[in-house]
């Protein structure tokens, strides 16, 4: 695992720099340039947590520990005209390199119609958490399993049969298969919260309803800047707000997920996903829940015609209660389970193709300022397979944004 020491050093630096700066008044509003045509925002977070180099419960598809990382992001919007905006976000994790997390143009074709089109590296339409993975909108430190936990499957390498897949249970952090890429590498989550896809998105909204659809290059699990299989993903979402404070939404997505490097061009195997999410808030309560079901058409490489569909189901609920203006407590219960397949292993008994995972995260936060928050959590993980079955992590974070 890379960068084991650096996050601690950076986090300590941030704590020592940011905390005194907070007392002197750090920026709290976006920076305006060129008479307001350009606005800059930013976010810096330093997360101090335990190592996760045995159980890899919090390993991400960017090969980092979600509970032990430093992140800095700079967001900009440029509005050359009233109905056109160019948006971008540069982000670095552990000061490795700055990458364009988002970069797209937003157009409102008709000024009176609440219909927008966005093109480029765009925010995901599917689900809710993917657009909320910012520290100012997070109530805990860890990510929901659906958006972070690495399953064993990869877009560039395939199991030859069911046993190859079963052998990789709980090895999502570094998995290898006999077909396609021979190098070991990280698997995929159901939905990546660490990369955004590239494509075209349209949204229409009213006071009570929001509908959005997108065509993108990659898939939920493997968002891409450049296409690797000439198959597009189609995704959509409809959200309804029947009451003030209540939002209910349904999402769907389908796209080719296997790289052409595996089979060559001409074959298409889809990741199909359905999701539902709900958010309700009132007084000092905030409750969110999400359900994600994902199915992959899995062509076992050695005998492709005998492939089968494998699926995963993630569901989580999280809540926050604000005790005082500065203090809050929060918790999340999360479960990720998988469909069963049969092979020679496990005596031929149908077995979940990945080890199911249950996660509880409890914690709280303290607002030093409106835009400077300290958080601490305890995360309890349990996995029905693999080398390490249980692991509890403690993590703390300082997050600042403007």
Partner 1 sequence: MVLRVARSRRVRALTLTVLARSLRVRPPTVAVWWLLCVFALSPLALIGERAVAGTIRGRVELRQPPADHEPRPNVAELGMHTGHGPTDRRRSVVYLDPAPRAAFDARDEPRARMDQRNESFVPHVLAIVAGTTVDFPNNDRTYHNVFSLSKPRTFDLGRYAAGRSKAVRFDTPGIVRVFCEIHSHMSAYILVFSHRYFAVTDEEGRYRIDHVPPGSYTVLAWNEATELQSRRVTVGDSGDVDLNFLLNRR
Q: To the nearest whole angstrom, how small is the minimum distance from the Cβ of residue 95 to partner 1? A: 21
Q: To the nearest whole angstrom, how small is the minimum distance from the Cβ of residue 9 to partner 1? A: 29
By the rule CB under 8 A, 20 interacts with partner 1: no
Q: Which of 5, 23, 29, 182 binds partner 1 (CB under 8 A)?
A: 29
By the rule CB under 8 A, 51 interacts with partner 1: no
Q: Which is nearer to partner 1, 71 or 169 (CB)?
A: 71
Asked if residues 187 and 98 have their Cβ atoms less than 8 Å apart, the reply is: no
3-class SS at 396?
strand
Q: To the nearest whole angstrom, how small is the minimum distance from the Cβ of residue 383 to partner 1? A: 31
Asked if residues 216 and 122 have their Cβ atoms less than 8 Å apart, the reply is: yes
Angle made by CA atoms 3, 188, 125, in degrees to the nearest 5: 105
Token pair of 382, please? Answer: 């349990």
What whole-number distance in Å separates Cα of residue 177 and Cα of residue 257?
A: 16
Token pair of 161, please? Answer: 């049969």
Q: Which of 182, 226, 242, 283 binds partner 1 (CB under 8 A)?
A: 283
Q: Which is nearer to partner 1, 305 or 370 (CB)?
A: 370
**DSSP states along 78-107:** EEEETTEEEEEEEEEETTS--EEEEEEEEE
Asked if residues 7 and 47 have their Cβ atoms less than 8 Å apart, the reply is: yes
Asked if residues 130 and 40 have their Cβ atoms less than 8 Å apart, the reply is: no
Token pair of 400, please? Answer: 């600042």
By the rule CB under 8 A, 148 interacts with partner 1: no
Q: To the nearest whole angstrom, how small is the minimum distance from the Cβ of residue 31 to partner 1? A: 10
By the rule CB under 8 A, 166 interacts with partner 1: no
Neighbours of 386 (CB within 10 A): 18
Beta bridge partners, 33, equal 38
Q: To the nearest whole angstrom, how small is the minimum distance from the Cβ of residue 243 to partner 1? A: 8
Q: Which of 10, 55, 67, 76 binds partner 1 (CB under 8 A)?
A: 76
Per-residue binding letters, 244-273, with partner 1 (x by CB under 8 A): xx----------------------------
What whole-number distance in Å separates Cα of residue 92 and Cα of residue 95?
A: 5
In this chain, which stretch among 73-81, 139-147, 251-259, 263-271 interacts with partner 1, using CB under 8 A? Answer: 73-81
By CB under 8 A, the residues from 313 to 372 that bind partner 1 are 322, 324-326, 367, 369-370
> How far is the CA of 387 from the CAs of 55, 57, 154, 383, 390, in angstroms?
7, 12, 20, 9, 9
Q: Which is nearer to partner 1, 51 or 284 (CB)?
A: 284
Q: To the nearest whole angstrom, how small is the minimum distance from the Cβ of residue 102 to partner 1? A: 4
Q: Which is nearer to partner 1, 31 or 303 (CB)?
A: 31
Positive or negative: CA dihedral 152, 153, 158, 160: positive
Q: Which is nearer to partner 1, 32 or 51 (CB)?
A: 32
What whole-number distance in Å separates Cα of residue 352 and Cα of residue 350?
A: 7
Q: Which is nearer to partner 1, 203 or 295 (CB)?
A: 203
By CB under 8 A, the residues from 196 to 225 that bind partner 1 are 201, 203, 205, 207, 210, 212
Beta bridge partners, 215, equal 200, 234
- Using alpha carbons, select from 372, 376, 374 the residue that is nearest to residue 363: 376
- Using alpha carbons, select from 223, 291, 300 the residue that is nearest to residue 262: 300
Could you tell me how many residues of this chain bind partner 1 (CB under 8 A)?
53
By CB under 8 A, the residues from 79 to 138 that bind partner 1 are 83, 85, 87-89, 101-102, 104, 106, 108, 114-116, 118, 123, 125, 131-132, 134, 136
Q: To the nearest whole angstrom, how small is the minimum distance from the Cβ of residue 22 to partner 1? A: 11
What whole-number distance in Å separates Cα of residue 145 and Cα of residue 220?
A: 14
Residues that bind partner 1 (CB under 8 A): 29-30, 32, 36, 39-41, 75-77, 83, 85, 87-89, 101-102, 104, 106, 108, 114-116, 118, 123, 125, 131-132, 134, 136, 201, 203, 205, 207, 210, 212, 244-245, 281-286, 322, 324-326, 367, 369-370, 401-402
């Amino acid at each position: 695992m890379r960068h084991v020491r650096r996050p601690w050093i950076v986090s300590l630096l941030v704590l020592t720099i940011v905390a005194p700066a907070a007392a002197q008044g750090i920026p709290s509003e976006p920076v305006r340039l060129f008479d307001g045509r350009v606005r800059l925002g930013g976010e810096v977070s330093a997360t101090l947590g335990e190592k996760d180099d045995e159980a890899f419960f919090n390993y991400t598809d960017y090969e980092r520990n979600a509970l032990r990382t430093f992140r800095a992001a700079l967001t900009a919007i440029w509005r050359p005209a009233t109905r056109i905006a160019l948006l971008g976000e540069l982000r670095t994790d552990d000061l490795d390199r700055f990458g364009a997390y988002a970069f797209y143009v937003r157009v409102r074709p008709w000024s009176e119609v609440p219909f927008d089109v966005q093109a480029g590296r765009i925010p995901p339409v599917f689900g809710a958490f993917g657009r909320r993975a910012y520290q100012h909108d997070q109530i805990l430190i860890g990510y929901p399993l659906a958006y972070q936990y690495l399953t064993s499957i990869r877009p560039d390498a395939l199991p030859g049969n069911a046993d190859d897949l079963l052998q990789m249970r709980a090895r999502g952090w570094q998995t290898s298969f006999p077909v396609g890429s021979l190098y070991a590498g990280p698997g995929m989550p159901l939905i990546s919260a660490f990369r955004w896809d590239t494509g075209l998105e349209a949204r229409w909204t009213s006071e009570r309803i929001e509908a959005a659809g997108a065509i993108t290059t990659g898939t939920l699990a493997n968002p891409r800047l450049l296409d690797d299989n000439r198959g597009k993903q189609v995704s959509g979402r409809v959200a309804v707000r029947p009451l003030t404070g209540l939002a209910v939404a349904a999402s769907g997505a389908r796209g080719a997920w296997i790289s052409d490097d595996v089979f060559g061009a001409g074959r298409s195997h889809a990741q199909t996903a359905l999701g539902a999410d709900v958010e309700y808030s009132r007084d000092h309560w905030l409750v969110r829940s999400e359900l994600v079901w994902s199915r992959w058409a899995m062509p076992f490489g050695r005998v492709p015609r005998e492939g089968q569909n494998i699926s995963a189901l993630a569901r989580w609920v999280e809540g926050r209660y604000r005790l005082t203006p500065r203090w809050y407590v929060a918790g999340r219960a999360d479960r990720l389970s998988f469909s069963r397949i049969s092979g020679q292993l496990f005596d031929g008994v149908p077995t979940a193709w990945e080890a199911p995972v249950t996660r509880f995260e409890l914690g709280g936060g303290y607002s030093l300022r409106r835009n400077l928050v300290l958080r601490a959590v305890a995360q309890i993980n349990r996995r029905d397979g693999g080398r390490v079955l249980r692991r509890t992590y403690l993590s703390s974070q300082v997050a600042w944004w403007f």
